[in-house]
Amino acid sequence: MALDPADFTKCCKNSGVLMVVKCRKENSALKECLTAYYNDPAFYEECKMEYLKEREEFRKTGIPAKKRLQKLPTSM
What's residue 19's pLDDT?
A: 87
pLDDT digits (tens, 9 = 90+) for 5-21: 788 889 989 988 888 89
Domain ranges of the chain: 10-61
Which residues lie closer than 8 Å to 1 by C-beta, 6 or more apart?
none
φ/ψ bin of 63: left (φ > 0), alpha (ψ from -120 to 50), beta (otherwise)? beta
pLDDT digits (tens, 9 = 90+) for 15-67: 888 888 999 998 998 898 889 988 999 999 999 999 999 999 999 988 888 77
DSSP 5: T
Average pLDDT taken over every residue of the chain: 85
Identify whether the C-beta of residue 27 lies closer than 8 Å to the C-beta of residue 5.
no
Q: Which of 1, 37, 31, 25 is nearest to 10 (CA)?
A: 25
Q: How far apart are CA 11 and CA 19, in angstroms?
A: 7
